[in-house]
């Protein structure tokens, strides 16, 4: 994760402990487990907990978080209004490395000594943080020149900066200054209503603002992107919008030939973020690498799930944008993803979980895919959940719902079952040889060979929990899925 490069060892340790508790069942973990998982002594664990609780107060998060210990277990008390992401943002905004990075980007860093004086730290500490940040930036082919300016791979630099500022500042764009913000607002005047920035809310809009602002700052500093895509290709994809972008950049006095490269890079972003709608077929026709990866994935899914051409076409339109972003914005694909707890997906969408993982495993020899395997794993998984109806993928489970309270009660239970699960369930009003599961408040002694669940009426939360577990056990799983398992993707090739 890009943001972690700004944190020192102590802050990373705090985040690791916090997230371990955040993801633990009931937000509780034994101290011994914490020591083993994080490879820390008991003294360091106790010290880290004390520091975290002090930081909650300092950051104004004491109403949201508190870690308590009974000597054996650690428990995270949380309000439910904030997550570890908020805590990470707080640590980064307080970090010397981030302050340096921001000064480098806006070209207001004069010397290590000046920085140390401004931030009330020793020259030794400031220089140490400077060296660490420089080392971290080299991972993205970015370096710091003698004038303390950021140089190197320009597109990588802009991607990194956009993602960092987006995460930390979200919809606060004041850091760029009034001039840049006015230039971004003028950007809309060159376009049709389809790309008005106020027509998409939240994250997408903020991301576009930050991308445009970062690009404007860099061009005003006379740093430009190199040619990435043939201009004629983008003209075919973007139509008149290409000239609209060029006109906007001309109004900002961006010179040629840099104007063409800058404009085409901006068009790539607008396509990747779907501000400009381009058909999947058009992208595949002009980018062979996207077309090939699409074919590989769709062929795999067609075999796995026996999907219709109509379903596959709908899925292809969505996955094409993922692959477009993979090849044209690799920093986001390779470094920006946030890990999430995948237990829910592994249990609820086992087939999609396994398919996503297995396909990527089969692409080990493709560095573009393998280097971005975590990004693609989550994207494929979420796209399958969104675009592929689970009921059409799963073999049916035949369920008889028969309570002593009559048909109306049975229908109520069936409706509630349909609300909480997407599985392919066939309901039967009476028991026969095809039934795999009986749900009732009485035993069916004549059918001992059929799995039965006996509920209280009305059902308790624990009754629903037992039902889902039993249903999951009856769910068909192929040998391939069991072989793949639910472990994280290996880094081995």
At residue 197 the predicted structure's pLDDT band, cuts being 50, 70 and 90, is: low
98-107 burial by CB neighbour count: b if 16+ within 10 A, else e? bbbbbbbbee
Give 411-452 pLDDT, tens digit per residue.
Answer: 999 999 998 888 889 999 899 999 999 999 999 999 999 999
At residue 480 the predicted structure's pLDDT band, cuts being 50, 70 and 90, is: very low
CATH topology of domain 2-91: Arc Repressor Mutant, subunit A (1.10.10)
Instruction: Say yes or no to pLDDT of 257 above 90.
Output: no
Q: What is the pTM of this model?
A: 0.85
The 3-class SS string of 402-456 reads CCCCCHHHHHHHHHHHHHHCCCCEEEECCCCCCCCEEEECCCCCCCCCCEEEECC
Cβ-Cβ contacts under 8 Å for 100 (sequence gap 6 or more): 109, 115, 129, 130, 133
Backbone φ, ψ for residue 200 (5° rounding) = -125, 130
Tokens for 416, please give them.
């509630």
pLDDT confidence of residue 479: 39
Q: Is 71 left (phi over 0), alpha (psi -120 to 50) or beta?
A: left
Rounded Cα–Cα distance for residues 12 and 19 (Å) = 10
Give 83-101 pLDDT, tens digit per residue.
Answer: 999 999 999 999 999 999 9
Residue with tokens 């794993």: 377
Rounded Cα–Cα distance for residues 162 and 211 (Å) = 5
- The strand pair at 73-78 and 65-69 is best described as antiparallel
Rounded Cα–Cα distance for residues 374 and 167 (Å) = 19
Rounded Cα–Cα distance for residues 445 and 9 (Å) = 63
CATH topology of domain 395-474: Rossmann fold (3.40.50)
Q: Are 77 and 65 in contact (CB under 8 A)?
A: yes
Calculate the dihedral angle through the C-alpha atoms of 326, 327, 330, 336, rounding to the nearest 10 degrees: -10
pLDDT confidence of residue 398: 95
| Partners of 452 in beta bridges | 438
335-372 burial by CB neighbour count: b if 16+ within 10 A, else e? bbbeeeebeebbebbbbbbbbbbbbbeebeeeebbbeb
Backbone φ, ψ for residue 210 (5° rounding) = -65, -40
Instruction: Say yes or no to pLDDT of 472 above 60.
Output: yes
At residue 477 the predicted structure's pLDDT band, cuts being 50, 70 and 90, is: low
The full set of domain ranges for the chain reads: 2-91, 153-278, 284-390, 395-474
Give 54-78 pLDDT, tens digit per residue.
Answer: 999 999 999 999 999 999 999 999 9
Give the SS3 label for residue 150. Answer: strand
The Cβ-side half-sphere exposure at 27, using a 13 Å CA radius, reads 15
C-beta atoms surrounding 189 within 10 Å: 11
At residue 349 the predicted structure's pLDDT band, cuts being 50, 70 and 90, is: confident
Instruction: Say yes or no to pLDDT of 483 above 50.
Output: no
Tokens for 477, please give them.
């799983």
Cβ-Cβ contacts under 8 Å for 232 (sequence gap 6 or more): none
What letter would DSSP give residue 41? -
Give 1-55 pLDDT, tens digit per residue.
Answer: 789 999 999 999 999 999 999 989 899 999 999 999 999 999 999 999 999 999 9
């Amino acid at each position: 994760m890009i943001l972690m490069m700004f944190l020192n060892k102590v802050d990373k340790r705090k985040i690791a402990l916090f997230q371990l508790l955040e993801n633990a069942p009931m937000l509780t973990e034994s101290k011994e487990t914490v020591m083993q998982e994080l490879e820390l002594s008991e003294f360091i664990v106790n010290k880290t907990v004390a520091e975290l609780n002090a930081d909650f107060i300092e950051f104004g998060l004491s109403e949201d978080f508190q870690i308590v210990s009974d000597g054996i277990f650690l428990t995270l008390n949380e309000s439910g209004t904030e997550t570890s992401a908020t805590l990470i943002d707080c640590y980064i905004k307080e970090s010397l490395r981030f302050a340096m990075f921001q000064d480098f980007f806006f070209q207001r860093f004069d010397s290590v000594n000046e920085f140390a004086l401004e931030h009330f730290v020793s020259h030794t500490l400031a220089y140490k943080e400077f060296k660490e940040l420089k080392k971290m930036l080299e991972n993205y082919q970015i370096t710091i020149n003698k004038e303390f300016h950021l140089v190197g791979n320009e597109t990588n630099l802009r991607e990194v900066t956009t993602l960092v500022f987006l995460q930390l500042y979200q919809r606060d764009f004041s850091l760029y200054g009034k001039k840049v913000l006015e230039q971004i607002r003028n950007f809309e005047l060159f376009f049709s209503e389809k790309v008005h920035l106020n027509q998409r809310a939240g994250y997408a809009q903020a991301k576009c603002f930050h991308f445009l602002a970062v690009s404007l700052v860099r061009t005003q500093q006379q740093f430009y992107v190199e040619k990435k895509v043939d201009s004629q290709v983008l003209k075919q994809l973007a139509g008149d919008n290409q000239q609209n972008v060029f006109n906007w950049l001309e109004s900002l006095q961006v010179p040629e030939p840099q104007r063409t490269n800058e404009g085409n890079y901006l068009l790539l972003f607008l396509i990747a973020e779907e501000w400009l709608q381009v058909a999947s077929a058009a992208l595949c026709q002009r980018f062979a690498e996207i077309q090939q990866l699409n074919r590989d994935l769709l062929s795999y899914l067609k075999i796995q799930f026996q999907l219709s051409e109509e379903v596959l076409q709908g899925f292809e339109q969505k996955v094409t944008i993922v692959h477009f972003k993979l090849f044209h914005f690799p920093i986001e694909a390779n470094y920006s993803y946030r890990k999430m707890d995948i237990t829910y997906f592994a249990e609820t969408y086992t087939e999609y979980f396994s398919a996503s993982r297995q396909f990527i495993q089969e692409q080990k020899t493709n560095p573009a895919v393998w280097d971005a395997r975590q990004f693609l794993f989550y994207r494929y998984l979420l796209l399958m959940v969104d675009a592929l109806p689970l009921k059409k993928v799963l073999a049916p489970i035949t369920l008889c719902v028969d309570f002593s309270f009559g048909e109306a009660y049975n229908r109520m239970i069936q409706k509630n079952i349909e609300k909480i699960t997407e599985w392919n369930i066939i309901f039967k009003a009476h028991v026969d040889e095809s039934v795999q599961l009986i749900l009732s408040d009485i035993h069916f002694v004549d059918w001992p060979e059929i799995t039965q669940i006996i509920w209280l009426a009305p059902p308790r939360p624990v009754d629903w929990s037992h039902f889902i577990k039993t249903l999951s056990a009856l769910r068909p799983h192929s040998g391939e899925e069991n072989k793949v398992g639910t472990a994280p993707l290996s880094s081995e090739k």
